[in-house]
Chains A and B, each alone.
Chain A
Amino acid sequence: MLRLSPLHLHQPRDLAQAVALLAEHGPQARLIAGGTDVLPSLKLGQTQAGVLVSLRRVPELLGIDLQDGQLRIGAGTRLAEIATDADVLAHLPALAHAASRVASPQIRNMGTLGGNLCLDTRCRFINQSDLWREALGGCLKSHGSECHVVPGGQNCVAALSSDTAPVLIAYGATLELLGPQGTRELALVDLYGADGRHHVLLQPGEVLVAVRVPLPGPGTRVAYRKWAVRKSIDFPLVSVAVRLDVAAGRLTGGTLAAGALNPRPRVLDLAKWAGRAVDADLAAELGQFAFDRCRPLPNVPYDAEYRRERLAVEVRRAVLELGVIPS
């Protein structure tokens, strides 16, 4: 079977210790939360680490709190908990839904929100064994010099595959980070960069502590739709969150955040539809808008053209889902 290369595991008891350990070990250290992403990629040789710093025993990362008009979710909170938490279900139902669509029950019992947001990008040319990648001759993200998705491209365009990122962006989430230089805040949408080799723009040694989401007002609704071949286990092949802000039956604003395209989510402002009723026409238009503005690449393992068409359908259905907003 596949074996993990020997490595050192540290299990700090608090956040300060975790940050200190990261600083001490530098680039060879990696954080591990639930391990459901980092362990498979280590085993497959897609990533290397000599030291793992585990967040499992760090109490500051746990818990879901309702405070000051915000929901604060610790980065170490398990996806299974997020999917079933009463406050999340009441205030951020689309997040609960997205969390419930990640992988499988076993993985949701282990996987954390922080790990999900910092999930590595995915591509059919990298999520393979050593033998396979060697046979291919590598690529920008492993040991090669070329991207097979965009030949000649300078960046890796592997896909953001987190189910919770699009929906949290649509909800306008911000992140609490702690690093050697202290704490900082960052809008979630700014966490991601364009190069799939290091798309998570944390500073060296930084830990994601919590996610803060402002409670949506009464006219705001978010829907998340994911398509994958199977109803469980699969990473998203199409993934989109749609937020609509409605007042007096008319749209006042909105956001569309699509994942599974590039290393960075595609975030589109829907302000130009302000004043429109949320109806089938709007749904069709927004579907077409997504189709025009998003171009799935042949990175994740499914036909890119179909994914583009499917994205349009999912956007349309998301809007229709939201159309039941009381006006």
Chain B
Amino acid sequence: MTHARIVGGRHGKPDSLDAMTGVARFTDDLVLPRMLHAKILRSPHAHARIVRIDTTRAEMLQGVHAVVVGAEMPMRYGIIPWTPDEQALAADKVRYVGDAVAAVAAVSEEVATAACRLIDVEYEVLPALTTPEAALAHPETRIHEANRHGNVTKAVQLAFGDVEGQLQAADLVVEGHYQFHGSTHGMLEPHCAIGHVDGRGLLTVWSSTQVPHYLHRELSKVLGIPTHQIRVIQPLVGGAFGGKSEPFDLEFVVAKLAQKTGRPVKCLYTREEVFLAHRGRHPFDMHYRTGFTKDGKILAVDAKSVLDGGAYSSFGLVTTYYSGQLLGSPYAFQSYRFDSTRVYTNKPACGPKRGHGSVQPRFAIEVQLDKAARALGIDPIELRRRNFIGENSQTINEFHIGSSGFLECLTAVEEASGWKERHGKLPRGRGLGVAGSTYISGTNYCIYPTELPQSGVQICLDRSGRIRVFAGTSDIGQGSSTMLAVIAADELGVELDDVRVIAADSDLCPVDLGAYSSRITLMAGNACLNAARDLAGKVRDAVATKWGCTKREVLLAGRRAQRLDNPEVWMPIQEAFILAECAFGTMGATGSYQTPKEGVHGEYRGGTIGASPAYSFTAHIAEVSVDEETGEVTVEKVWCAHDCGKALSPVLVEGQIEGSCYMGAGETVMESHGVMASGLRTDGQRRDPGPGKEGLLAASSLLDYRMPTTLDTPELHAFIVEKPDPRGPHGAKEAGEGPLHSVIPAICNAIFDAVGVRIDALPVAPEKVLRALREARKS
């Protein structure tokens, strides 16, 4: 008798009903006795020096318990230890409209808000630089004085092979200029944090973060208290998508105000503050030259990108590398060069959003391929097949590719969409477009240099028949806690409901680095598998002793221990656990995961950044209709096939594919995060406030920032492709970010198929389409 495995079963998330019925507790649902509420005063200037802050009037307001200013937490921090350019509250300078300047703890949010208005700040207004062009043209106006290279935060140039030679040898060179606009995460739950200091001085911070471990470290650094004196707890998080993957002002503020007042302090962002905190997708300005042979082989890729970074570094160092390093597959390049420059501007800081740093270049290259396919008369899918890099291969920038189901992904969407019969043959106004992509399953290296494991998991089981999994992992709705339960339940022979996952509490759980770079399934999954195997071995041992057989003959499955060769011989799993506990004492095991150091990446400088133990692969086909009178583009259908190695939870993988496609489609046709107008105001005066007033967000509410509603989303077809990678648990790779990438170029390529125009500057707004159609008619 075989038992249905939990791994790969069509289960949902055990905790989803809580979220659906409103009983789930998010950070803002937590209320502590005597809790105060904090509000943060923010800068109305895009760029200004703080001359003086006077908090007297605010402190005198009834109901105010404490006020904090930047000088009290001067230590600079940053998620990337090499670029610490942020302060919890700006002490000397503000760098975007919304930069945090001071904060108040009071008996209510109303009083705290009123008190913020009573804080007097004198500013010396500085010229605001709101575009990369302005920031590069005016290095004398330094957004960060300590920065060595004007307003350039990071520049990376890497070259592999003879790009110029290959371009000359090419039968076709496609040259294109692409603009990728900014977009933000739009998670449902605004950031929220609570700080509390107990009688012994232990600081506890509850935060809706996706990186509790990094928050823990930065709290220690900024507040100057050792990490063992700090406990970080991440309650249920209502979405993050990269927008909560570094520390934010409010976490330091609640901690500091809790210290100052001796009372718990909560801060909940308004929606506008979420837009200001941002850390969303960088606007990219890209210039690409791609050389092809006449049969469509890629000879050379030459990429030049300028990244609009906003006011702080955030993950920018990594983003700048990713903008080039993640392009090396799924296609083989004969030569490759990229030159990426990230620039500071006086706007909310950009950072990682789902598909960090690689969604923008993917857009450019996939449109380049489409242009080449047209020019060479090769089917765009066929052109991609011809360039496939292959499994167990090495990219030109020396990343090792393990398993790859890219060809299977292409075939899946080709067949499902009826591509062969329909591409290029639909009536005018309707079109199909294809694109492919790849993404990392975690990065090979931790953000800070360390030999420590990337992930640790502890599992305990006991006489109740229950299993408890303790992990530092951050479930932000993607289902990482479900993933741990699936792996543990599968190994230990129980049902999903028998596993309790206790996650993201630094006092209870071993460290995991957090929910970023699509790392948890591969890394914490492996750690969990190790611990679970260890325990399962002991349980089987104890049962084998009882049955007088070998351990290999004992199978744990379906809440039973049974003889492999004779299913009639079995005992309830609880009995097996009791036997094990009698034999070995209290049952616990730990597992950890460290990335492989051999055969992953090249040894050149920067060669480690973007390298991953395993890569996922994706192909998209989009079908659009274009209204030629209004210029409006409707994304009618999307087919997406994604190779996640092994779907531990197929329902969750499908959910990630669908969510990624919706998100990508939204940022292609409607969403835009940016400021209203720009330009250098050289006199630094404010006497002419007008539409030119720099640095004001064009959309800072969910009404103005137009994310698709359910009526605006395409019909979606998700396909799972499984090419197990030996480095993943049960072969699993990532599924949370990869399936976003290629939907964007697929839509743009479909527009070309529909009406023969290219929109190379995103978003695809109707007025741009109209303009392009008009120009096409003219020529």
Q: A132-B700, A135-B44, A229-B670 are in contact. Are A303 and B693 (CB under 8 A)?
A: no
Interface centre among A6, A124, A131, A235 (most CB of B within 10 A): A131
Q: A148-B691, A303-B767 are in contact. Are A129 and B711 (CB under 8 A)?
A: no
State whether the Cβ of B49 lies closer than 8 Å to any Cβ in chain A: no
Chain A residues contacting B631 (CB-CB under 8 Å) are 306
Chain B residues contacting A303 (CB-CB under 8 Å) are 765, 767
Complex: A229 Cα to B703 Cα, angstroms: 11
Are A5 and B703 neighbours in the complex by a CB distance under 8 Å? no
State whether the Cβ of B497 lies closer than 8 Å to any Cβ in chain A: no
Convert B76-102 into 0s and 1s, putting 1 for each residue whose CB lies closer than 8 angstroms to a CB of A. 000000000000000000000110000
Chain B residues contacting A146 (CB-CB under 8 Å) are 689-690
Q: Nearest residue in B to A305 (C-beta to C-beta)?
A: B767
How many A-B contacts are there with CB distance less than 8 Å?
Answer: 91
Interface centre among A134, A146, A301, A305 (most CB of B within 10 A): A301
Are B270 and A129 neighbours in the complex by a CB distance under 8 Å? yes
Q: Nearest residue in A to B693 (C-beta to C-beta)?
A: A136
Chain B residues contacting A137 (CB-CB under 8 Å) are 686, 689, 693
From residue B624, how far is it (CB to closest CB) to chain A in Å?
16
Q: Nearest residue in A to B771 (C-beta to C-beta)?
A: A306
Q: A132-B697, A305-B767, A313-B629 are in contact. Are A230 and B709 (CB under 8 A)?
A: yes
Are B699 and A301 neighbours in the complex by a CB distance under 8 Å? yes
State whether the Cβ of A28 lies closer than 8 Å to any Cβ in chain B: no
Convert B611-624 into 0s and 1s, putting 1 for each residue whose CB lies closer than 8 angstroms to a CB of A. 00000000000000
Are B630 and A3 neighbours in the complex by a CB distance under 8 Å? no
State whether the Cβ of B113 lies closer than 8 Å to any Cβ in chain A: yes
Q: Which of B272, B711, B765 contacts A132 (CB 8 A)?
A: B272
From residue B649, how far is it (CB to closest CB) to chain A in Å?
31
Are A135 and B700 neighbours in the complex by a CB distance under 8 Å? no
On chain A, the number of residues with a Cβ less than 8 Å from chain B's Cβ atoms is 36
Complex: A56 Cα to B704 Cα, angstroms: 29
Q: Which of A124, A136, A298 contacts B689 (CB 8 A)?
A: A136
Are A135 and B97 neighbours in the complex by a CB distance under 8 Å? yes
Are B110 and A230 neighbours in the complex by a CB distance under 8 Å? no
Q: Which residues 744-766 of B sit at the A interface, judged by CB distance below 8 A?
A: 765-766
Are A1 and B270 neighbours in the complex by a CB distance under 8 Å? yes
Are A233 and B709 neighbours in the complex by a CB distance under 8 Å? yes
Are A230 and B670 neighbours in the complex by a CB distance under 8 Å? yes
Are A129 and B109 neighbours in the complex by a CB distance under 8 Å? no
Q: Which residues 31-48 of B sit at the A interface, judged by CB distance below 8 A?
A: 42, 44-45
Q: A1-B270, A2-B270, A301-B699 are in contact. Are A231 and B711 (CB under 8 A)?
A: yes
Q: Which residues 134-182 of A sit at the B interface, judged by CB distance below 8 A?
A: 134-137, 144, 146, 148, 151
Are A6 and B693 neighbours in the complex by a CB distance under 8 Å? no
Complex: A176 Cα to B486 Cα, angstroms: 65
Q: Which of B700, B709, B765 contacts A231 (CB 8 A)?
A: B709
Are A313 and B712 neighbours in the complex by a CB distance under 8 Å? no
Q: Which residues 658-715 of B sit at the A interface, judged by CB distance below 8 A?
A: 670, 676, 686, 689-691, 693, 695-701, 703-704, 706, 708-712
Are B709 and A134 neighbours in the complex by a CB distance under 8 Å? no
Complex: A129 Cα to B620 Cα, angstroms: 39
Are B110 and A3 neighbours in the complex by a CB distance under 8 Å? yes
State whether the Cβ of A295 lies closer than 8 Å to any Cβ in chain B: no
State whether the Cβ of A14 lies closer than 8 Å to any Cβ in chain B: no
Q: A129-B272, A309-B770 are in contact. Are A6 and B699 (CB under 8 A)?
A: no
Chain A residues contacting B272 (CB-CB under 8 Å) are 129, 131-132
State whether the Cβ of B268 lies closer than 8 Å to any Cβ in chain A: yes
Complex: A231 Cα to B708 Cα, angstroms: 9
Q: Nearest residue in A to B108 (C-beta to C-beta)?
A: A3
State whether the Cβ of A234 lies closer than 8 Å to any Cβ in chain B: yes
Q: Nearest residue in A to B109 (C-beta to C-beta)?
A: A3
Q: Which residues 157-208 of B sit at the A interface, judged by CB distance below 8 A?
A: 190
On chain B, the number of residues with a Cβ less than 8 Å from chain A's Cβ atoms is 44
State whether the Cβ of A310 lies closer than 8 Å to any Cβ in chain B: yes
Complex: A227 Cα to B686 Cα, angstroms: 36
Main secondary structure of the interface of B (DSSP, over half): loop
Q: Nearest residue in B to A306 (C-beta to C-beta)?
A: B767
From residue B17, how far is it (CB to closest CB) to chain A in Å?
22
Chain B residues contacting A47 (CB-CB under 8 Å) are none
Chain B residues contacting A6 (CB-CB under 8 Å) are 110
Are A230 and B708 neighbours in the complex by a CB distance under 8 Å? yes
State whether the Cβ of A84 lies closer than 8 Å to any Cβ in chain B: no
Q: A3-B113, A231-B712 are in contact. Are A134 and B44 (CB under 8 A)?
A: yes
From residue B463, how far is it (CB to closest CB) to chain A in Å?
46
Chain A residues contacting B765 (CB-CB under 8 Å) are 303
Chain A residues contacting B700 (CB-CB under 8 Å) are 128-129, 132
State whether the Cβ of A203 lies closer than 8 Å to any Cβ in chain B: no
Convert B353-366 into 0s and 1s, putting 1 for each residue whose CB lies closer than 8 angstroms to a CB of A. 00000000000000
From residue A301, how far is it (CB to closest CB) to chain B in Å?
6
Complex: A309 Cα to B769 Cα, angstroms: 13
Interface centre among B109, B190, B766 (most CB of A within 10 A): B766
Q: Which of B268, B670, B696 contacts A135 (CB 8 A)?
A: B696
Chain A residues contacting B670 (CB-CB under 8 Å) are 229-230
Complex: A146 Cα to B693 Cα, angstroms: 13
Are A136 and B696 neighbours in the complex by a CB distance under 8 Å? yes
Chain B residues contacting A136 (CB-CB under 8 Å) are 689, 693, 696
Convert B99-121 into 0s and 1s, putting 1 for each residue whose CB lies closer than 8 angstroms to a CB of A. 00000000011100100000000
From residue B214, how far is it (CB to closest CB) to chain A in Å?
26
Complex: A305 Cα to B699 Cα, angstroms: 19
Complex: A310 Cα to B770 Cα, angstroms: 11
State whether the Cβ of A232 lies closer than 8 Å to any Cβ in chain B: yes
Q: Which residues 1-60 of A sit at the B interface, judged by CB distance below 8 A?
A: 1-3, 5-6
From residue B672, how far is it (CB to closest CB) to chain A in Å?
10
Complex: A59 Cα to B697 Cα, angstroms: 43
Complex: A132 Cα to B767 Cα, angstroms: 27
Chain A residues contacting B45 (CB-CB under 8 Å) are 135
From residue A235, how far is it (CB to closest CB) to chain B in Å?
8
Complex: A126 Cα to B110 Cα, angstroms: 22
Chain A residues contacting B699 (CB-CB under 8 Å) are 301
From residue A76, how far is it (CB to closest CB) to chain B in Å?
25
Complex: A229 Cα to B629 Cα, angstroms: 15
Q: A1-B268, A1-B270, A303-B767 are in contact. Are A230 and B711 (CB under 8 A)?
A: yes
Are A234 and B767 neighbours in the complex by a CB distance under 8 Å? no
Chain B residues contacting A227 (CB-CB under 8 Å) are 630
Chain A residues contacting B712 (CB-CB under 8 Å) are 230-232
Chain A residues contacting B270 (CB-CB under 8 Å) are 1-2, 129
Complex: A305 Cα to B767 Cα, angstroms: 9
Chain B residues contacting A298 (CB-CB under 8 Å) are 691
Chain B residues contacting A131 (CB-CB under 8 Å) are 42, 44, 97-98, 272
From residue B50, how far is it (CB to closest CB) to chain A in Å?
15
Are B698 and A301 neighbours in the complex by a CB distance under 8 Å? yes
Complex: A146 Cα to B692 Cα, angstroms: 13
Convert A217-233 into 0s and 1s, putting 1 for each residue whose CB lies closer than 8 angstroms to a CB of B. 00000000001011111
Chain B residues contacting A3 (CB-CB under 8 Å) are 108-110, 113
From residue B172, how far is it (CB to closest CB) to chain A in Å?
36
Q: A230-B712, A231-B712 are in contact. Are A135 and B690 (CB under 8 A)?
A: no
Q: A1-B268, A131-B98 are in contact. Are A229 and B697 (CB under 8 A)?
A: no
Q: Which of B113, B703, B766 contacts A233 (CB 8 A)?
A: B703
Q: Nearest residue in B to A233 (C-beta to C-beta)?
A: B709
Q: Nearest residue in B to A147 (C-beta to C-beta)?
A: B690
Q: A129-B700, A229-B706, A301-B699 are in contact. Are A151 and B690 (CB under 8 A)?
A: yes
A-B contact pairs, 27 of them (CB 8 A): A1-B270, A3-B108, A104-B709, A124-B676, A127-B703, A128-B700, A129-B270, A129-B700, A131-B42, A132-B97, A135-B45, A135-B97, A135-B696, A137-B689, A144-B689, A148-B690, A148-B691, A229-B670, A229-B706, A230-B706, A232-B710, A234-B703, A234-B706, A235-B703, A301-B699, A303-B767, A305-B767
- Give me 13 other A-B pairs in contact (C-beta within 8 A), A1-B109, A129-B272, A229-B670 excluded: A1-B269, A3-B109, A3-B110, A124-B676, A129-B700, A131-B42, A131-B272, A132-B97, A136-B689, A148-B691, A232-B712, A233-B703, A313-B630
